[in-house]
């Protein structure tokens, strides 16, 4: 028998399993590059957070106040004033003499002496920032002195000031023959108001007079002296008088603590209101009082150190009218002793208090103490802040002028201002308010981030309510039920949808979708209401069909049975909407008095809420349209990657296709589904352009689905280009960015923890 020799198989060469040096080096350096890139990403995230914190940190730093060298002035000084630079202040002595002293060395530069033939000076008052001095004379007349500074610059650029005093003629305001123990002069739109306080037979009397100035064709001013009239003639025991810079009212404090307000009514000033502060306090006498910048709030302090803020705001009266009246809006922190003086700043709501040997710079709105320092040993006569709030000066009873340098870039900021409920001037109560700008100089910026948080959460919820059910159910259907040839078309189409720019979606939502929804709102609500019941009914009827009939429809073609039900139900709901509106949503038109069928007007009158065409529903729909492709794509990939053996095994054990999806496929892919939801959440919470263009972009806090909102990201995009670098507004926007960063970081971290736990729980062994 012949045999055939066969060659034994040769063992593979060892060179086949050897890796080239180039491959090893490539793997080594690619690994290092990946590690460096990962570390770089982490460092970049940390760097962004540190940058945000660096921008935000100054908001929570108090004022820095440093004392300057005191300037010795006249021992008989009663009032003072200073120039814009604080280089050449002046003091007014009891006899009306004005002395100018240089700050550097305290030397006397100039002295002005009143005429000898005029009546003696009985009182002195100065308005330091206006350069105005008001003298109350012994015969009941009032005289104004205007102090001006002329600046000259040498060739070397050195500045020198030349002070000038312009004296006006005395104006008889009070009763002739009685000394004017206090005098005021305030300029308003209606003219200048002169007020004189005199004492007669142990009673105080206040007399006012208006000076109106009119310019003729030649530009020459003509001053008309009005007729004197009595103010607060019914006050028997007057303690102090406050006159705002608007000259439209007078606040009188009685010795028993009652505060009486007199307001302008035509040409005279009549009684408006009275109130008693410090309710429940043992000492109800007012020992210190002062108007705050804006002239609609007064800070009052008593002998026990209790401090209250009373403001003018709309209040409902018993007859149903809403009138502006005075009411308490704040209880400030207790002073270190009896209140001795309250002196307002200019340009913000800060003020200086003197009490118990301490001086404190406080902010009226936030109630925060910006600075606390030791008061001068000599009693304080007068305090004045510089116009730009970088300096304040104190005139003491010993004739010295003490000065402090102030560094407080963000006086209106505090934790309560950004996250607390604050009662702002003019508001009817405490509220969370964001309003960063206005046209008035007395406007107080409001930087509460709570409405922006609310708007961010509201927009995100509406977007996810629309997007998640559609995206997740579509992912389940496409991955487990739809035929493969249809899947190859649907998934790429959804992925292309994710590339649509948000500015295009916002443009379409604001200019096309919002008017369309506004015109057919109730019809759309009716259609959306019947779609789910129609789908469930179609599914129930499908389950009742005999098996031979259902087998004729191939797997993945069941939607052909569903579509007629949805189209028919939608058409019926759309057609029935006018009948529904006329039956259930009929209200009386406020203009014509006739009954009309209008869901929007019914909503306004029935709920008392507003209705805007660009509302949360439109935003939710369009933002959901932007979120759906992301959630769908990631969830569909997670569901499609479930091992086929698990699906086959479940079907082999007798489970239906739906039972297999619900009990096998979804739990296995749950970690990927959670990741898809969180990525969609991040897309919705950070959306900017859609919110800006499709809503009114108003920072309101209402759950009303038919009004707009403002989100943190939209607020930053709209206001950051106009915010001054380093300003409180600028840093408040960075604080919003920091909060948005931390919010998304915390939520994503929690989602990752949840994803890992679900992955461990449902992992395939």
> What residues does 204 pair with on adjacent strands?
199
Task: Please name every residue paired with 655 in a beta bridge, in sequence order, or none if there are none.
Answer: none
Residue 602: count other Cβ atoms within 10 Å of its Cβ: 18
Kindly report the backbone phi and psi dihedral angles of residue 481, in degrees, each rounded to the nearest multiple of 5, phi listed first. Answer: -120, -35
The whole-number pLDDT of residue 165 equals 93
Tokens 């992301």 -> residue: 630
This prediction's pTM: 0.86
Q: 132-165: buried (b, 16+ CB within 10 Å) or exposed (e) per residue?
A: bbbbbbebbbbbbbebebeeeeeeeeeeebebeb
Task: Name residue, tokens 């700050």.
Answer: 103
DSSP code of 170? P
**Domain extents for the chain?**
64-435, 450-761
**Which backbone phi and psi does 329 adopt, to 5 degrees?**
-120, -20
* Widest CA span in the chain: 160
DSSP state of 534: H
Whether the CA torsion 607, 609, 612, 618 is positive or negative: it is negative
According to DSSP, the β-strands at 64-67 and 400-407 are antiparallel
Side by side, the strands of the sheet bearing 297-302 are: 286-291, 297-302, 307-316, 322-331
Phi, psi of 8 (to 5 degrees): -70, 145
Q: Output phi, psi for 123, to 5 deg.
A: -150, 155
Which residues lie closer than 8 Å to 275 by C-beta, 6 or more apart? 258, 259, 261, 310, 326, 327
Q: Are 264 and 249 in contact (CB under 8 A)?
A: yes
Q: Considering only CA atoms, which of 517, 699, 539, 701 is closest in space to residue 614?
A: 517
For 323: left if phi > 0, alpha if psi spans -120 to 50, otherwise beta; the answer is beta
Enter the tokens of residue 689: 């352009």
How crowded is residue 498: how many other Cβ atoms within 10 Å of its Cβ? Answer: 15
CATH class assigned to 64-435: mainly beta
Instruction: Please give the Cα distance from 732 to 455 (Å, whole number).
Output: 17
* Percent helix, strand and coil across the chain, each to the nearest 5: 40, 30, 35
Q: Which residues contact 107 (CB under 8 A, 6 or more apart)?
A: 101
Contact (Cβ atoms closer than 8 angstroms) between residue 147 and residue 132: yes
Distance between CA atoms of 301 and 616, rounded to whole angstroms? 47
**Rounded to an integer, what distance in angstroms lies between the CA atom of residue 574 and that of residue 531?**
11
pLDDT on residue 289: 95
The whole-number pLDDT of residue 347 equals 85
Report the C-alpha gap between 436 and 413 in whole angstroms.
13
Q: What is the mean pLDDT of each run of 10 residues along the chain (765 residues)?
A: 56 68 87 91 91 93 93 90 90 94 89 89 92 94 93 81 91 91 86 90 88 69 82 86 90 93 85 91 91 92 94 87 90 91 92 95 93 94 93 93 94 92 91 80 82 92 91 90 84 84 86 87 89 87 83 76 88 92 85 81 87 87 89 91 87 86 88 88 87 84 88 91 90 94 86 80 63
210 phi, psi to nearest 5 deg = -110, 140
State residue 1's pLDDT score.
Answer: 47
Q: Are 634 and 640 in contact (CB under 8 A)?
A: no
Q: Please indicate whether the domains covering 64-435 and 450-761 agree at the CATH topology level.
A: no
Residue pair 487/478 in contact by the 8 Å Cβ criterion: yes
**What's the CATH code, domain 450-761?**
1.10.3720.10
The reported pLDDT for the residue numbered 234 is 79
pLDDT in tens, 97-142: 999 999 988 889 999 999 888 899 999 999 998 899 999 999 999 9
Instruction: Report CA-CA distances (Å) from 126 to 133, 209, 282.
Output: 4, 19, 35
């Amino acid at each position: 028998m012949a045999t055939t020799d066969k060659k034994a198989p040769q063992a593979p060469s060892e060179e086949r399993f050897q890796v080239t040096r180039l491959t090893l080096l490539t793997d080594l350096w690619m690994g290092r590059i990946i590690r460096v890139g990962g570390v770089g990403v982490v460092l970049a995230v940390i760097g962004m957070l540190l940058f945000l914190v660096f921008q935000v940190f100054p908001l929570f730093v108090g004022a820095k106040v440093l004392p300057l060298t005191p300037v010795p002035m006249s021992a008989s000084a009663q009032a003072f004033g200073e120039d814009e630079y604080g280089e050449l202040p002046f003091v007014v002595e009891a006899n009306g003499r004005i002395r100018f002293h240089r700050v550097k060395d305290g030397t006397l530069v100039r002295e002005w002496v009143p005429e000898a033939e005029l009546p003696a000076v009985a009182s002195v008052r100065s308005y330091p920032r206006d350069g105005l001095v008001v003298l109350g004379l012994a015969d009941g007349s009032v005289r104004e002195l205007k102090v001006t500074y002329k600046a000259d610059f040498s060739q070397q650029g050195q500045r020198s000031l030349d002070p000038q005093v312009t004296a006006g003629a005395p104006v008889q305001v009070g009763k002739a023959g009685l000394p004017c123990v206090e005098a005021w002069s305030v300029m308003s739109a209606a003219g200048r108001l002169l007020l004189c306080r005199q004492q007669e037979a142990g009673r105080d009397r206040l007399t006012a007079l208006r000076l109106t100035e009119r310019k003729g064709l030649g530009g020459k001013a003509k001053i008309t002296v009005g007729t004197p009239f009595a103010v607060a003639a019914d006050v028997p025991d007057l303690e102090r008088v406050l006159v705002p810079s608007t000259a439209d009212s007078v606040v009188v404090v009685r010795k028993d603590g009652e505060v009486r307000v007199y307001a302008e009514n035509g040409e005279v000033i009549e009684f408006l209101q009275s109130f008693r502060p410090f309710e429940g306090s043992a000492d109800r006498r007012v020992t210190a009082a002062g108007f705050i910048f804006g002239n609609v709030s007064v800070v009052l302090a008593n002998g026990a150190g209790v401090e209250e803020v009373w403001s003018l705001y709309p209040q409902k009266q018993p007859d149903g009218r809403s009138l502006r009246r005075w009411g308490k809006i704040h209880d400030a922190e207790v002073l270190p002793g009896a209140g001795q003086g309250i002196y307002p700043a200019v340009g913000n709501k800060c003020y200086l208090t003197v009490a118990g040997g301490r001086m404190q710079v406080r902010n009226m709105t936030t109630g925060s103490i910006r600075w606390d320092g030791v008061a001068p040993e000599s009693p304080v006569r007068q305090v004045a802040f510089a116009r730009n709030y970088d300096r304040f000066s104190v005139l003491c009873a010993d004739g010295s002028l003490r000065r402090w340098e102030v560094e407080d870039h963000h006086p209106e900021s505090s934790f309560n201002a950004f996250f607390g409920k604050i009662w702002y001037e003019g508001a009817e109560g405490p509220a969370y308010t964001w309003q960063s700008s206005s046209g008035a100089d007395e406007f107080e910026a409001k930087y509460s981030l709570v409405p922006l948080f609310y708007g961010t959460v509201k927009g995100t919820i509406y977007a996810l309510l629309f997007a998640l059910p559609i995206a997740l159910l579509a992912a389940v259907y496409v991955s487990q039920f739809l035929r493969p040839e249809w899947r190859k078309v649907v998934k790429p189409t959804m992925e292309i949808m994710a590339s649509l720019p948000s500015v295009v979606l916002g443009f379409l939502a604001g200019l096309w979708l919002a008017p369309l929804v506004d015109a057919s709102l109730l019809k759309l609500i009716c259609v959306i209401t019947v779609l789910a019941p129609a789908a469930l009914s179609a599914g129930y009827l499908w389950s009742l069909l005999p098996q031979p009939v259902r087998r004729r429809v191939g797997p993945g073609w069941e939607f052909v049975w569903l579509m007629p039900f949805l189209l028919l139900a939608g058409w019926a709901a759309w057609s029935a909407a006018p009948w529904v509106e006329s039956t259930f949503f009929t209200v009386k038109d406020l203009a014509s008095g006739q009954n009309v069928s209008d869901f929007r007007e019914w909503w306004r009158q029935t709920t008392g809420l507003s209705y805007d065409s660009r509302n949360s529903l439109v935003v939710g729909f369009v933002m959901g349209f932007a979120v759906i492709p992301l959630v769908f794509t990631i969830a569909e990939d997670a569901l499609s990657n479930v091992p086929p053996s698990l699906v086959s095994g479940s079907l082999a054990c007798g489970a239906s296709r739906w039972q297999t999806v619900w009990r096998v496929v979804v739990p296995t892919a749950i970690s990927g589904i959670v990741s898809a939801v969180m990525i969609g959440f991040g897309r919705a919470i950070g959306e900017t352009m859609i919110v800006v263009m499709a809503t009114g972009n108003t920072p309101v806090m209402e759950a009303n689905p038919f009004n707009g909102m403002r989100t943190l990201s939209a607020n930053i995009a709209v206001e950051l280009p106009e915010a001054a670098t380093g300003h409180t507004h600028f840093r408040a926007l960075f604080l919003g960015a920091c909060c948005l960063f931390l919010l998304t970081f915390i939520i994503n971290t929690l989602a990752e923890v949840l994803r890992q736990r679900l992955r461990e729980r449902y992992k395939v062994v």
